[in-house]
Amino acid sequence: MAAPASNGHHVPGPDSGVLEMLSSVLSSLSFPARPWQIIAAAEAYGADSRTMTRLHQLPSATYPSLRHVAQAYGNAPGPRRGAPPASHR
């Protein structure tokens, strides 16, 4: 679902697959959260290297919700489609 932007255009929401994957990986995380907290939660979960690489590229910000993390994750450089899902060790 798209969110309205301040200029009246719609901004695409996060990919549902990304949101689902991050929901599992970050299930122990409380929001709002900073990138270091997001990375620590993903490491504790045992996220794969592709996921960790993308999380390390999140802009420095306070993320109020999982949806905001997923939006930033979707905009981070790196593999998107076809990347294996995060795995729990």
26 in any annotated domain:
yes
Its pTM stands at 0.72
Q: For residues 10 and 59, what is the distance between their CA atoms, to the nearest angstrom?
A: 21
19 in any annotated domain:
yes
C-alpha 30, offset from chain centre: 14
83 in any annotated domain:
no
Provide φ and ψ at 63, rounded to 5°. -95, 115
62 in any annotated domain:
yes
pLDDT at 9 over 60: no
Question: Which structural domain range is residue 49 located in?
Answer: 15-75
pLDDT in tens, 56-66: 999 999 999 99
pLDDT in tens, 48-88: 999 999 999 999 999 999 999 999 998 877 655 444 455 55
How many domains does the chain fold into? 1
